């Protein structure tokens, strides 16, 4: 078990380098459109502030190539100031003498948010000199940036090696919930996969076959599976290389005696129809494009979900951004919310879909991770967590 911030003693006056994932969605005028990742981080920040630590917060935002004012963390600093009035300062420079000065003048229980760490290419390169410079700002390293624990960057890995360290509440919570769901699932366990790329999700899909009883597959992903079964899919979105992978998954599921449920009907439109007029069909003809699961499939999926005691969902079941093709995703979201099963949802688009369907409050765990949630489901090693010291018992 990894050392958590609860295991840190005498925090009064200590400089804590806290890596968070404040990669928040923003519109083109820098307005934060979803603050979930920041709100979920507040318990860790409060814990440190209340114990008199000097909290130096570091995060990335987007994937900049050098400085880019559109990816400044300043809007996040403004939001933090509302939660911690009079306690927050912003370090426009991220590192260097000015920041060292700012750190030196911090009072106990105050917060300094560093500008976007990814303005420096040394961050993603995990440059040792850069990591050393970051480490020189603090006495202790705390990692709570769940969204990037699969990245071996200077602020997620390099600096952790140089300081006494621990994980924060958000990582602890995410990892405990997702690992428990995989290792000791409540049965029956139904997994729902959708979205675009099979290749991104294959690891998670294969790993989940062991604990899961039933896997429901929708979205564009389903077309690779249908194609692998020789079912015609018209001009629906499919990655050709995924068809082989899908065939492997189907074979493995059969060997293991696990049930995979695929769509039996679709909401489709015709190729070349500019208005993408939607209609329901059981069979996809050559010029048809499937963009959502159909009503029979919805009922089939609902049937399985109603029997579940645990549900994990990743990936929308159709092109939910378009109102014509969102019914499948929204109906399944509502069904998951209504069941008494323990429900976990991960994936940027899946979360956004659940929020649009207004049922996020009834989901037991909404993961703040993006790609990392899939990594965790896959059972992959996570460098940002591996590098943290074990708890001394």
Given the residues 348, 355, 375, 379, select the one marked as catalytic.
348
Given the residues 46, 93, 197, 324, select the one marked as catalytic.
197
Q: Tell the smallest beta-carbon distance from residue 89 to ligand ADP (Å).
A: 34
The entry of ligand 3PG, ligand ADP, Mg ion, none that residue 109 binds, CB within 5 to 8 Å by partner kind: none
Q: CB-based contacts of 171: which residues, under 8 Å, 6+ apart?
A: 143, 144, 145, 146, 149, 385
| Residue-wise burial string across 291-301, b where 16 or more C-beta atoms lie within 10 A, e elsewhere | bbbbeebbebb
270 noted as active-site residue: no
Given the residues 13, 203, 371, 379, select the one marked as catalytic.
371
- Contact (CB, 8 A) for 392 and 4: no
Task: Name the site residues for ligand ADP (rule: CB under 6 A).
Answer: 194-196, 219-220, 237, 290-291, 314-316, 318-321, 347-350
Token duo for residue 350: 């899946």
- For residues 240 and 45, what is the distance between their CA atoms, to the nearest angstrom? 46
63 in contact with ligand 3PG (CB under 6 A): yes
371 noted as active-site residue: yes
370 noted as active-site residue: no
147 in contact with ligand 3PG (CB under 6 A): yes
Q: Tell the smallest beta-carbon distance from residue 133 to ligand ADP (Å).
A: 34
Given the residues 2, 14, 37, 331, select the one marked as catalytic.
37
Q: Helix 240-256 vs helix 221-228: angle between axes, to the nearest 10 degrees? A: 70
Of residues 151, 258, 266, 327, which one binds ligand 3PG by CB under 6 A?
151
Q: Tell the smallest beta-carbon distance from residue 342 to ligand 3PG (Å).
A: 24
23 in contact with ligand 3PG (CB under 6 A): yes
- Edge-to-edge strand order for the sheet containing 279-281? 279-281, 266-270, 288-293
- Contact (CB, 8 A) for 298 and 326: no
Instruction: Give the binding range for ligand 3PG (CB under 6 A) out of 3-11, 145-153, 228-236, 307-315.
Output: 145-153
315 noted as active-site residue: no
Q: Tell the smallest beta-carbon distance from residue 169 to ligand 3PG (Å).
A: 18
Largest CA distance in the chain: 69
- For residues 75 and 70, what is the distance between their CA atoms, to the nearest angstrom? 10
Closer to ligand ADP by Cβ: residue 36 or 89: 36
Beta bridge partner(s), residue 19: 58, 143
Residues at the contact surface with ligand 3PG, assessed by CB under 6 A: 21, 23, 63, 147-148, 151, 370-371
């Amino acid at each position: 078990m990894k050392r958590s911030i609860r295991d840190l003693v005498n925090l009064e006056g200590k400089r804590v380098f806290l890596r968070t994932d404040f990669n928040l969605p923003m519109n083109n005028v820098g307005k934060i459109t979803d603050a979930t990742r920041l709100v979920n981080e507040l318990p860790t920040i409060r814990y440190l502030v209340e114990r008199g630590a000097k909290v130096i917060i570091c995060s990335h935002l987007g994937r900049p190539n050098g400085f880019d004012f559109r990816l400044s963390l300043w809007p996040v600093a403004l939001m933090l100031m509302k939660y911690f009035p009079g306690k927050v300062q912003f370090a426009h420079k991220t590192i260097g003498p000015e920041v060292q000065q700012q750190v030196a003048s911090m009072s106990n229980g105050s917060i300094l948010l560093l500008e976007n760490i990814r303005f420096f290419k040394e961050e993603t390169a995990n440059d040792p000199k850069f990591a050393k410079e970051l480490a020189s700002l603090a006495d202790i390293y705390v990692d709570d940036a769940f969204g990037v624990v699969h990245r071996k960057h200077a602020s997620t890995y390099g600096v952790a090696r140089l300081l006494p360290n621990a994980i924060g509440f958000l990582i602890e919570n995410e990892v405990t919930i997702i690992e428990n769901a995989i290792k000791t699932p409540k049965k029956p366990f139904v997994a729902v996969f959708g979205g675009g790329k099979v290749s991104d999700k294959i690891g998670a899909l294969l790993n989940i076959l062991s604990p899961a009883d039933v896997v429901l597959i929708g979205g564009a992903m389903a077309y690779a599976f249908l194609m692998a079964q020789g079912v015609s899919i018209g001009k629906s979105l499919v990655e050709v290389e995924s068809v082989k992978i899908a065939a492997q998954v189907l074979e493995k599921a059969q060997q293991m005696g696990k049930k995979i449920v695929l769509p039996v009907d679709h909401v489709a439109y015709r190729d070349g129809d500019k208005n993408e007029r939607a209609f329901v069909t059981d069979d996809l003809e050559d010029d048809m494009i499937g963009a959502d699961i159909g009503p029979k499939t919805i009922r089939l999926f609902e049937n399985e979900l109603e029997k579940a005691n645990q549900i994990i969902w990743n990936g929308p079941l159709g092109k939910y951004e378009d109102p014509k093709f969102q019914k499948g995703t929204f109906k399944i979201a509502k069904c998951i919310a209504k069941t008494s099963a323990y429900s976990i949802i991960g994936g940027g688009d899946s979360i956004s879909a659940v929020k649009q369907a207004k049922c996020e409050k009834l989901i037991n765990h909404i993961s703040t991770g993006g790609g990392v949630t899939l990594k965790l489901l896959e059972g992959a090693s996570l460098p940002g967590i591996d590098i943290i010291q074990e708890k001394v018992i």
